[in-house]
Amino acid sequence: MEKVNVVIVGAGAVGLSIAAELSRVRKDIVVVERNPSFGQETSSRNSEVIHAGIYYPKDSLKSKTCLEGKVLLYEFCARNDIPYKRTGKLIIAINKSEMKDLEKLYLHGRENGVSGLTLISKAEVKKIEPGIKAEAAIYSPSTGILDTHSFMKRLASSFEKNNGQIAYNSEVAGIAKTDSGYEVTVTDSQKESFTLNSNIVINCAGLNSDKVAAFIGLKKPEYRLKYCKGDYFRLARSKEAGIKHLVYPVPKEDRGGLGIHLTLDLAGSIRLGPDDEYVKEIDYKIDPSKAKLFYESVKTFLPFIKLEDIAPDTSGVRPKLQGEGEGFRDFIIRHEEESGFPGFINLIGIESPGLTASLSIAKMVSGIIKSGGIM
Ligand SMILES: Cc1cc2nc3c(=O)[nH]c(=O)nc-3n(C[C@H](O)[C@H](O)[C@H](O)COP(=O)(O)OP(=O)(O)OC[C@H]3O[C@@H](n4cnc5c(N)ncnc54)[C@H](O)[C@@H]3O)c2cc1C
């Protein structure tokens, strides 16, 4: 049995951010990842957008970590040569009936402390994005995109340079509390098991994080995840449209996502999506017949799009705490000391804006460890 200081379950953007942060000042940290490489689940199946922090309730963890994470992420990308672009984003009212919701969202974003937001007129939208049809828009200059793979690669290499270890092809299959910490049972790709004895366990298992919490008996109903799938379609010849900003409709309340929108990748190609569909099982296949639905959703504000130009791309699954039609649920980032598990930190429901927030979440977890005196 190997004795270590910290076990981090999951090498997604969040687990790796925490690993890189902790390894700057602490030793004997192991990240356990069931896949052959890092970031093969939700962290590589998203829009790669650096969110500004407009939508979330003020003072929620989603809002705070997004606002701080955005700043940290831009700095990190600039310092480490990670490809990124401050594209800016337009949230548009398609017609007059959406103006009230647009104005409400604008005021909410400002109240959240998002810098640089402006409400712009139909004529101004036409000027900066001639291809878009809108009554008015919120312009968010601090929204951008990044190369998520390069970001995670850099986090993994920083962690390994600080003598951190990543065990790939290794699945955490059980966790038991001991007098001094936790016994973590890991199964490797040969189906052989080994045990890590750790003072601290940090559960960053994404879509599986409720099940990992249940290993130590934390089967709380409030921790149960629901899966909400988001499909993307790619637009052929997208550069011809000349779009420079990300373009989102005003979100409808109680949806699983932000509404089918237009994002750009770093090469300037356009993707539409993600949509939102609650599912029981994880299956990343996309039904090509959904193209019609995507087309119908965006044709009013993206009139240049033709049905025959859109084709299935990738999909991702959101680890959501709220079920369909339910109200807002915040990230759970919790030291489980009060439940009788000192040194066990749960991160559950880390859906969007989890990528943007990842470096801020890492700082927060490091703070919990420091202030809790658990290491
Ligand atoms: C469709 C979609 C679009 C999104 N768009 C954005 C966006 O534009 N901007 C943004 O900020 N956020 C976005 N998000 C959210 C963002 O992608 C996630 O919040 C973030 O990637 C979560 O990272 P993570 O490390 O928590 O989870 P993951 O990336 O899922 O990592 C968890 C890891 O844990 C591993 N694991 C699970 N169980 C075990 C186990 N028992 N043993 C070992 N390993 C295990 C998994 O293999 C996985 O690698 C989007 C999400 C979706 C689904």
On the question of pLDDT at 372 being above 80, the answer is: no
44 Cα–ligand 1 center, Å? 8
Q: Which residues of 212-241 are buried (b: 16+ CB within 10 A; e: fewer)?
A: bbebbebeeeebebbbbbbbbbbbeebeeb
Q: Which atom of ligand 1 is nearest to the CA of 230?
A: 1
Whether the CB-CB separation of 355 and 152 falls below 8 Å is answered with: no
- CATH topology for the 2-45+149-224+328-372 domain: FAD/NAD(P)-binding domain (3.50.50)
Residue with CA at minimum distance from ligand 1 atom 25: 12
pLDDT of 191-227, one tens digit each?
999 999 999 999 999 999 999 999 999 999 999 999 9
Q: What is the pLDDT of residues 149-187, one digit of tens each?
A: 999 999 999 999 999 999 999 999 999 999 989 999 999
Q: Can you tell me whether residue 215 is helix, strand or coil?
A: helix
272 with 294: CB under 8 angstroms?
yes
Cα–Cα nearest to 319, from 110, 60, 42: 42
Q: How far apart are CA 126 and CA 136, in angstroms?
A: 10
Is 90 exceeded by the pLDDT of residue 251? no
- The model's confidence at residue 240, banded by pLDDT at 50, 70 and 90, is confident
> How many angstroms does the Cα of residue 205 sit away from the middle of ligand 1?
8
Q: 356: closest CA among 78, 204, 143, 114?
A: 143
pLDDT at 259: 82
Q: What is the mean pLDDT of residues 322-335?
A: 95
Range with the lowest mean pLDDT among 48-62, 76-90, 232-246, 349-363?
Answer: 232-246
pLDDT above 80 for 374: no
Q: Say yes or no to pLDDT of 35 above 70.
A: yes
Question: Which amino acid is it at 268?
Answer: G
Q: Which of 56, 278, 279, 355 has the most ligand 1 atoms within 8 A of CB, as the residue to mutate?
A: 355
pLDDT value of position 252: 77
Pocket of ligand 1 (CB under 6 A): 9-15, 32-35, 39-43, 45-49, 51, 171-172, 204-208, 212, 230, 274, 316-318, 350-356
* Domain boundaries of the chain, sorted by first residue: 2-45+149-224+328-372, 89-141+226-320
Instruction: Say how many Å lie between the first and final Cα of the chain, rounded.
Output: 20
> Residue 345 corresponds to which amino acid?
I
Query: Bridge-partner residues for 92, per DSSP?
Result: 137, 249
Q: What is the structure's pLDDT at 217? A: 96
Residue (of 209, 212, 204) closest to 227 by Cα position: 209
- Ligand 1 centre to CA of 38 (Å) is 11
0.75 cut: is pTM over it?
yes
User: Cα(307) to centroid of ligand 1, in Å?
Assistant: 31
Q: What is the CATH number of domain 89-141+226-320?
A: 3.30.9.10
Atom of ligand 1 nearest to the CA of 317: 53
State the distance from the centre of ligand 1 to the C-alpha of 93, rounded, in angstroms. 30
Alpha-carbon distance values, 338 to 178, 181, 218, 366 (Å): 16, 15, 12, 18
Label residue 1 by pLDDT band (50, 70, 90).
Answer: confident
Cα 347 to ligand 1 centre (Å):
11
* Cα–Cα separations (whole angstroms), residue 30 to 196, 202, 213, 260, 374: 9, 10, 18, 38, 17
Task: Outline where DSSP puts E strands in 238-331.
Answer: 246-249, 261-264, 270-273, 277-279, 310-320
